[in-house]
Structure 1
Amino acid sequence: MLDAIPDLRSLAVLVAVADEGSFGAAARRLDTSQQAVSERVRRAEAACRLTLFHRTPTGAYPTPAGADIILQARRVLESARELAEVTEAQRDPDHAIAHVAASQTVLDHYIPRWLAAAGSGHPGLRFRVDGGNSRAVAEAVARGETTLGFIESLSVPASAAGELTVAVVTVDELVLAVPAGHPWAGGEVDRETVRATPLIVRETGSGSREVAETRLGPLVPPRAELAEQAALPAAVRALGSPGIVPAAALSGAADLRAVRVDGVAMTRPIRAVWRRGGRPRGAVALLLDAARTVR
């Protein structure tokens, strides 16, 4: 029976091709050659005695049988990763590595405190924390590429929701920020004025952008669209334009002011996500506990 099961590397290639939609894109994601990807797929199909992908001039997509195999491949890879983590933790319990991912606001303003709390009393714990917007983090967890994710969107991205367990750990607030000399500084503006003003915002797919557009309504094209959360306050200063920033980013920023928007509160939950059917263990569980308790 085991002869009909592709090896773990081949399973990872199958998942990458399915996610990326072509052998070439999968090769780039895996930092290998397209020929190597093709050979791995060929071997997997030979082991399964099934055609797993339809090959077309524009890419590759799973056959019905391939879709079933790839679904199980994701679960096998997740189990293999958990096995590796447990093995490492048993071999060297004081130096376990927790691999997590976090959206930009969480990474900039929450993760440092959570890491400190999780490591308190466990000085040997090590953490690898990757960043990205909420959609990218959720999808990475759903694919089994990381153990635990923290996202700031109002909902879990539909592309990953079916694969994830979700728990709210805290609540974050966004504010409309302007330079201290701006006409809006220290005052209040109405929603329609804000919506009609080109703002400095995060990119589409980020939790911050989703919250702004949900709470305020449709916005005019932005003055600037930034992929890095930390760059937002600097852009507000440099461009002199209003921007949507985390309230935490204004702490100690004497040259920026929060502006009240009449009738609008831009709060959002910070959620932890992990693969459905699993549970956080070891260092990852300590980090999740810290997220739930440290403010």
Structure 2
Amino acid sequence: MSSGESRTGGDASGRSHAAGLAHRVPDLGALELLLAVARLGSLGGAARELGISQPAASSRVRSMERQLGVALVDRSPRGSRLTDAGALVTDWARRIVEAAEAFDAGAQALRDRRDSRLRVAASMTIAEYLLPGWLVALRAQRPDTAVSLHAGNSAVVAQRLLADEADLGFVEGVSVPAGLDSAVIAHDRLIVVTAPTHPWARRRRPLAARELAETPLILREKGSGTRQVLDAALGGLARPLIEVSSTTAVKAAAVGGAGPAVLSELALGEELAMRRLVRVPLDGVSLARDLRAVWPTGHRPAGPARHLLSLTRAQPRT
């Protein structure tokens, strides 16, 4: 056999050995029981310390002895004594349990570091009108978690998640960005609004979808969820009258009389109530949309991100 073949055979043997290790080595619970028997000199005392019944402890010791092929404990009316083999196995077991404790401490440190911060990326409407309430609720339940929020359009949210610059995202577009999984957390609708002085504010008939599509509007920038939904619903848009990068800026331009706009109903409560803006009925098209939480495909939210996601589902959906 060549040296190359020998190495290949050795590798295969090593993989086989590793694959069978879990079947030949007792689990941590059995090793902890053996250590307790050695320390207390009593199988019954060890069972009580570990919170199991004495028959269960006896069964676990017998199973361990069958697994290893040697006797570990001598039982008598005066108590339980380790055999010579049992004493040797106990020394090995102590090192394994100490290593497992170190492993557990390290894993807990990783969880603590993860739980100490939460990075959220959200599209503008969700960041401005929904997330503040969710984050207040999260703060009440996890006061030690530091939260950072980056607000941007849906495309930016996806970029931050895929670059591992955010732990959880929220978007409002027509589809889930590539590379992300999602869950619907709320529903929203877009509505057409104008200043009270605009001719559309005095319309007696609903605005036709075609007329809306052909009218220059005050719009969010490309990549925003609002613009994606509107463009998809109307099959295209006229050249923007004004293009801005925030919902607040769109509202300000519309209130100032620059022209009509299409915005989330979530963002317009105060303006409509004070009649700074007027809702224009629309016919022939639905501008309803889903609001989604998103995260990288195959990586379910954990720790604070999972907690925040549960809070969004606990709130009444719009």
> Contact 1:150/1:271 (CA < 8 Å) preserved in 2?
yes
* Kept after mapping to 2: 8 A contact 1:250/1:257: no
Per the alignment, residue 265 of structure 1 pairs with: 286
Higher helix proportion (structure 1 or 2): 2
Deviation at 1:117, TM superposition (A): 2.1
Instruction: Compare 185-194 and 134-143 and name the one that shifted more.
Output: 185-194
Q: Which position in structure 1 is the counterpart of 2:162?
A: 142
Question: Structure 1: how far apart are the matches of 2:123 and 2:175?
Answer: 13
Q: How far, CA to CA, are the matches of 2:135 and 2:117 in structure 1?
A: 12
Q: Where does residue 308 of structure 2 map in the other structure?
A: 287
User: 1:124 and 2:144 equivalent?
Assistant: yes
Residues 214-233 of structure 1: CA deviation (Å, up to 9, x unaligned):
11222110100111122111
Q: What's 2:234 paired with? A: 216
Aligned partner of 2:213 in structure 1 is 195
Q: Secondary structure at the match of 2:251?
A: helix
State the TM-score, normalizing by the size of structure 1. 0.65
Q: Distance in 2 between matches of 1:119 and 1:85?
A: 24
Contact 1:186/1:258 (8 A) holds in 2: no
Q: 1:92 to 1:218 in 2, by over 3 A?
A: closer
Q: Post-superposition shift, 1:195?
A: 1.5
Per-residue CA shift, 1:91-143, capped at 9, x if unaligned? 696xx211110011111111101112222333333210111110111122122
2:134/2:311 contact within 8 Å kept: yes
Q: Which amino acid aligns with 1:166?
A: S
Query: Counterpart of 1:230?
Result: 248
Is 2:188 the partner of 1:172?
yes
Deviation of residue 212 (structure 1)? Answer: 0.8
Q: Distance in 1 between matches of 2:189 and 2:202?
A: 18
Structure 1 unaligned runs (5+)? 1-83
Are 1:114 and 2:140 counterparts? no
Paired position in structure 2 for 1:11:
none
Deviations along 1:45-69, whole A, 9 cap, x unmatched?
A: xxxxxxxxxxxxxxxxxxxxxxxxx
In structure 2, the CA distance between the partners of 1:91 and 1:214, relative to structure 1 (3 Å rule), is closer
| Percent of matched pairs sharing the same residue | 35
Is 120-129 or 215-224 further displaced after alignment?
Answer: 120-129
TM superposition shift of 1:146: 1.1
Give the direction of change, closer, same or farther, for the CA distance of 1:164–1:108 in structure 2 (3 Å limit).
same
1:240 aligns with 2:240: no
Q: Distance in 1 between matches of 2:107 and 2:202?
A: 51
Moved more, 137-146 or 102-111: 137-146
DSSP 3-state at the match of 1:120: helix
Q: How does 1:11-90 map to 2 (within 5 A)?
A: 87=109, 90=112
User: 4+ residue stretches of structure 1 with deviation over 6 A?
Assistant: none
The equivalent of 1:46 in structure 2 is none
Largest Rg, 1 or 2:
2
Q: How far 1:88 sits from its partner (Å)? A: 6.3
TM-score, L = length of structure 2: 0.60
Distance 1:223 1:294 in 2: 37
Q: Deviations over 1:10-49 (max 9, x none)?
A: xxxxxxxxxxxxxxxxxxxxxxxxxxxxxxxxxxxxxxxx
Letter in 2 for 1:286: H
DSSP-derived class of the 2:253 partner: helix
Give the CA RMSD over aligned residues. 2.2
For structure 2, the 5+ residue unaligned runs are: 1-105
